[in-house]
């Protein structure tokens, strides 16, 4: 149950409140907007006790949120005003920080395949392709059969991880051993499996390439 102030208004985030949210919303722990980051300047959003970004900095939730069949988690402000409260003006187009703005979402999802059945790509991957199809950024499509061939570096995208495990010659770890940073939406490999718009690493990678850490997350080399 979330804290309630007199009159039904929220009191704002407590230091442990994000932990309470993440107790249910496990998929938000990785690959999304950082939680616990300090905001250096005053903003019109409720922050944690140490000036940190919490779940309730961006979201409003009713006190009966947990008990609802279809809980409501509203944004405190409309986009892009909400982002501008902390980040100010948008970063230059094409910069690493611009990716987080262009995605227009703070969180990926573990089960976010499109409902139109047009491709075996999750929503995040499809959003990446709105630019990385060669129209506004370098194309990562090497063939019309995306799921079979992957991007130009040769990594399959859109395929089932379990199906890849059955391929002869591929030694892939069980899903239970894959680090939390590696996301498999609906059990499939997507752009967000290796990349995150919030990453501080080169190429927005989820894990560093040094010592093959990213590759070894899935491949039992």
Does 127 have pLDDT greater than 80?
yes
Q: What pLDDT was estimated at residue 213?
A: 95
Q: Confirm if 53 and 46 have CB atoms less than 8 A apart.
A: no
Among 62-71, 140-149, 191-200, where is mean pLDDT lowest?
140-149
For residues 7-32, give the mean pLDDT. Answer: 58
For residues 86-99, give the mean pLDDT. Answer: 77
Terminal Cα-to-Cα distance of the chain (whole angstroms) = 45
For residues 14-31, give the mean pLDDT. Answer: 66
Q: Confirm if 203 and 210 have CB atoms less than 8 A apart.
A: no
Does 216 have pLDDT greater than 90?
yes
Q: What pLDDT was estimated at residue 197?
A: 85
150: left (phi > 0), else alpha (psi -120 to 50), else beta? left
Q: Confirm if 48 and 15 have CB atoms less than 8 A apart.
A: yes
Q: What pLDDT was estimated at residue 115?
A: 42
Q: Confirm if 106 and 79 have CB atoms less than 8 A apart.
A: no
Q: Give CA–CA dist 182/93, Å, rounded.
A: 26
pLDDT digits (tens, 9 = 90+) for 33-55: 888 888 888 888 988 888 889 88
In three state form, how does the secondary structure of 24-59 look?
Answer: CCHHHCCCCCCCCCECCCCCCCCCCCCCECCHHHHE
């Amino acid at each position: 149950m979330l804290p309630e102030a007199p009159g039904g208004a929220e009191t704002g985030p407590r230091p442990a409140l994000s932990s309470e949210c993440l107790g249910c919303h496990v998929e938000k722990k990785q690959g999304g907007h950082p939680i616990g980051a300090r905001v250096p300047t005053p903003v019109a959003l409720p922050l944690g006790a140490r000036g940190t970004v919490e779940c309730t900095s961006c979201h409003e939730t009713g006190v009966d949120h947990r008990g609802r069949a279809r809980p409501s988690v509203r944004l405190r402000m409309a986009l892009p005003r909400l982002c501008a409260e902390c980040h100010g003006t948008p970063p230059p187009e094409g910069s690493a920080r611009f990716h987080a703005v262009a995605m227009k979402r703070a969180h990926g999802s573990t089960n976010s395949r499109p409902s139109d059945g047009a491709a075996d790509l999750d929503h995040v991957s499809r959003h990446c392709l709105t630019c990385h199809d060669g129209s506004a950024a370098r194309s990562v499509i090497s063939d019309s059969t995306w799921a079979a061939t992957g991007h130009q570096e040769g990594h399959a995208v859109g395929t089932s991880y379990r199906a890849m495990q059955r391929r002869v010659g591929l030694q892939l770890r069980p899903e239970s051993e894959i680090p939390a940073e590696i996301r498999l939406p609906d059990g499939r490999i997507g752009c967000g499996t290796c990349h995150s718009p919030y990453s501080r690493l080169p190429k927005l990678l989820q894990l560093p390439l040094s010592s093959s850490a990213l590759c070894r997350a899935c491949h039992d080399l």
